Amino acid sequence: MIHIEKNVSLYPYNTFGIDVRARFFCKIATVPQLQELIASSLYKTEARLILGGGSNILFTKDFQGLVVHMELKGIQTLAETDERIRINVGAGESWHDFVMHCVNQNWGGIENLSLIPGTAGAAPIQNIGAYGVEIANVIETVEGVDASTGLVHVFEKDECRFGYRESAFKVELKEKIFISSVTLTLTKKNHLFDIHYGALRDMLQQQHGDELTVRKISDAVIQIRQSKLPDYRKIGNAGSFFKNPAISHQHLQQLQKNYPLVPSYPSDSQNVKVAAGWLIEQCGWKGKRVNNIGVHPFQALVLVNYGGGTGEEILRLAEQIQTSVKEKFQVNLTPEVNII
Ligand SMILES: Cc1cc2nc3c(=O)[nH]c(=O)nc-3n(C[C@H](O)[C@H](O)[C@H](O)COP(=O)(O)OP(=O)(O)OC[C@H]3O[C@@H](n4cnc5c(N)ncnc54)[C@H](O)[C@@H]3O)c2cc1C
């Protein structure tokens, strides 16, 4: 039986700590509950927003519609051999708790994605990635419920069209599918560790001679993240506010004439990615504070709410940053965060 609440504060439901309200709010714990909601008359007339952990969302105003909070739980082993395991995780499970569950069993593949906030169900949406690994590397299928018919649909990996912080769920399937669970395959032995990312490699090299394990990589990732990123429970934020922009090789060469140190890495045959944080820092934004909001002093890519800031203020700051990066480098920054 579903329960629809009215006029609910979304403050506890977003990591930016923005105090806005939802006209209607409904917690969903099972697929039948979701189907019951989809069949309801209120659902048909209201605008809707699917909400996980609220760690990739900036609320700029009250939401005049129905917020559906995804709380579907469960971790299930579907198949396993000596080498591999196929697991299904409910959309409402905490992503980091799920990673810790896998690390505790010595299952490899997602250890580089430790400590990313949010839910397992949202993880495929922007194809979460960190330290050289993306969730797309281990995904088999994504299970969802059609937001208009209530029918269950299983998306094979290629239907998800994963890219850098992208997937079909962010574009043509946006708000059309409630992701109910995700199925992934992890390794039980002969793990394929990825430690090419500079800071991670350096930290693990300090423990020279020791054999790499799933846990050691996870611990190192957690240590690096805790030293670099603000804890959203203390300072509101949504991680990287912008994506790293892709520019042409020619554009990079032009930039390098004036800025030989611009950090870049290959994107595809046409483009290279440049570090958005570096561009923002060069424009003088790092550590800037405007009343209750600002740019984090250690990480220019992270916009923060020191408490009491509004989503509109953060959005205005983001726009100013975009303008100055455009003027100085002729580069367009695109938000990674969903602006509502
Ligand atoms: C401190 C910090 C560090 C971060 N570091 C990283 C990082 O290293 N790498 C990275 O990729 N991201 C990072 N993020 C961003 C964020 O954690 C991820 O994008 C995460 O997957 C968002 O999950 P969520 O449940 O909070 O999604 P939400 O913010 O609740 O929602 C994000 C989007 O997904 C939709 N959505 C949510 N759940 C569902 C569902 N079940 N079905 C359909 N649509 C849904 C929402 O409508 C919204 O459009 C970071 C965030 C913070 C605060």
Q: Cα angle vertex 20, ends 16, 26, to 5°?
A: 100
Q: Is there a contact between 125 and 117 (Cβ–Cβ < 8 Å)?
A: no
Report CA dihedral (227, 228, 231, 236) to the nearest 10 degrees: 160
Higher pLDDT, 282 or 198: 282
Round to the nearest angstrom and report the end-to-end CA distance of the chain. 28
* Alpha carbon distance 115, 99 (integer Å): 8
Higher pLDDT, 78 or 202: 78
Residue 265 neighbours by CB under 8 Å, 6+ apart: 272, 273
Residues annotated as catalytic (active site), given as ranges: 165, 240, 336
> Strand 177-187 and strand 133-134: pairing?
unpaired
Averaged pLDDT score across all residues of the chain: 95
* Alpha carbon distance 252, 278 (integer Å): 14
pLDDT in tens, 32-49: 999 999 999 999 999 999
Closest residue by Cα to atom 43, ligand 1, is: 178
Q: Look at residue 269 in the predicted model and tell me its pLDDT.
A: 79
pLDDT in tens, 119-142: 999 999 999 999 999 999 999 999
Work out which ligand 1 atom sits closest to the CA atom of 72: 41
Mean pLDDT score, 318-340: 97
- Which protein residues are within 6 Å of ligand 1, measured from CB? 15, 49-57, 70, 91, 116-119, 121-123, 125-126, 128-130, 178-179, 229, 232, 237-239, 338
* Alpha carbon distance 209, 212 (integer Å): 9
Closest residue by Cα to atom 21, ligand 1, is: 123
pLDDT in tens, 233-249: 999 999 999 999 999 99
Q: Look at residue 209 in the predicted model and tell me its pLDDT.
A: 62
Report CA dihedral (327, 329, 331, 332) to the nearest 10 degrees: -30
* Alpha carbon distance 273, 259 (integer Å): 15
pLDDT in tens, 154-177: 999 999 999 989 999 999 999 999
Q: Look at residue 1 in the predicted model and tell me its pLDDT.
A: 86
Residue 204 neighbours by CB under 8 Å, 6+ apart: 195, 212, 216, 217, 220
